[in-house]
Amino acid sequence: MEISFLPRVAQLTLREREREREGIVGEGEELRKKANREMRTLKPVPVSIMASRLTNLISRPKSVSARASSAPHLTRQMSTEAQSVASRLSSSGLLRSQGLIGGKWVDAYDKKTIKVYNPATGEVITDVPCMGGRETNDAISSAFDAFNPWSKLTATERSKFLRKWYDLLIAHKEELGQLITLEQGKPLKEALGEVSYGAGFIEFSAEEAKRVYGDIIPSTLADRRLFVLKQPVGVVGAITPWNFPLAMITRKVGPALACGCTVVIKPSELTPLTALAAAELALQAGIPPGVVNVVMGNAPEIGDSLLASTQVRKITFTGSTAVGKKLMAGAAGTVKRVSLELGGNAPCIIFDDADLDVAVKGTLAAKFRNSGQTCVCANRVIVQEGIYEKFANAFSKAVENLLVGDGFTEGVVQGPLINEAAIQKVESFVEDAISKGAKVLLGGKRHGLGMTFYEPTVIGDVKSGMLLSREEVFGPVAPLLRFKTEEEAIRIANDTNAGLAAYIFTNNMQRSWRVAEALEYGIVGINEGVVSTEVAPFGGVKQSGLGREGSKYGMDEYLEMKYVCLGNMNSN
């Protein structure tokens, strides 16, 4: 997943990406400042201008469907609605703009702040604290103090707290969805789906809290009894990305709390507001002060504090492989446990015998969800030569119908990219492919809406040496590659250091089983483009990470096994 706890690592230009690879964690601050400067130079777009742009776009045949003749009026209405969302959220008490330490909402100790932007308009939503090492250390101390009483609660008691939190998340689904769209940009319908998905991890964790079982082992000696206990790891540092500002938090915090751990959450500086709203609801659910803490701001300082503290016993991180490696190295100093969900380069293999409609629909979902900004997005669409032309035509037609716009506009299915650096990265990847012989079948440039909107794009004749094949584009660009045989498809798919998710479309049951076994990925979808669920393990192999999130397997990431030997049992 091309996202990082060093802000905007995933959206860097090629030159910046090389610097990040060669540098140290501390260089992320320079990149953060640069990206923030870029964001500050973006001028807010007045509603009238945005409506005018949308009116012009609707008259064009590409990208925006002509299905709604009233769209210009609707766009004005929804743009105005977007401006009022912040005030409604503030009235509801969910628009928090302070960190949470020990149950108290606090500013940065030096009063520094950072701005949170609406990526669809460039407008400032609010300021949040730019916290650093001192605040993080206090949050760690708070979590450490809360750990003993929280872990001593019965599993049933912790389950009840989590259930209340889940109920509140669902009760405020509409507000949380609006907040996600406001600060992250994804369409409101998709944001509401994330709320349901994210809340599902809290519900599942509430249920699994009561099913953390140990073992009794038959002893080899008559006077001994052998037991295995499972106990909470301790304080957990949870570093989360911007592309799923709720779900990536609940997927980590839910099982941590269920097992008896306490947490310090470090959300992305691009999307901290959803994390703060979720934390507010955790407090309303009665979860004791200090069990959940939230700090944001100076990413390197926060990360260094989490890594250096002996009170933090585990780091769980979703982000880029480059930063994951640095966290692994940093965790070695105190021998912390780490769970890492890192970069992907997902292949989507379309065999000649695939159902064309199923393949188009599944690939569309796997590629363009969240404007292509997910860790499991299809990064390479690998199509067998017998169906290549037919698939390319059908897929391009489907992509052409995707409605692009502000996430609050009715019918929109693709919002903006997260910031200017992200769209520059997409542009550089597309330019690289074209320079090496690839052909743009659809799109291939910035959208007429301006800002960070990019046209849904399909590129044909992509080769393995192009950046689109080697690295995550993390944007709405679908590269098409040809293959001849099943063996070649597997070779192309596995020719990467990543191994998070892969997709297969075929009607041959034997082939689906063979290929699924041969693919070096932690997740494989067969004739399905949306595979994530709280009840199944999520994670990768190779350089896509360590550990699993979700399901009963995800609970084990927050538990230590303790072997107890009880001797002299035959004595009176």
Beta strands 235-239 and 312-318 are: parallel
Compute the distance between CA of residue 499 and CA of residue 524 in angstroms, rounded to an integer.
10
Helices (H), ranges, 379-419: 388-400
Compute the distance between CA of residue 359 and CA of residue 47 in angstroms, rounded to an integer.
39
Closest by Cα among 177, 201, 210, 194 to 277 = 177
Burial track 153-180 (b if 16+ CB lie within 10 A, e otherwise): eebeebbbbbbbbbbbbeebbebbbbbb
> Tokens standing for 542?
């190779």
> Tokens standing for 517?
């076994």
Judged on CB neighbours under 10 Å (0-12, 13-18, 19+), 55 is middle
**Long-range Cβ contacts of 487-492 (<8 Å, 24+ apart):** 489/349, 489/351, 489/382, 489/384, 489/515, 490/515, 490/518, 490/519, 492/347, 492/380, 492/382, 492/464
Do residues 317 and 338 lie in contact, with contact meaning Cβ atoms separated by under 8 Å? Answer: yes
At 170, which amino acid appears? I
Active site residues: 341
**Token match 């597997």: residue?**
490
Compute the distance between CA of residue 11 and CA of residue 82 in angstroms, rounded to an integer.
25
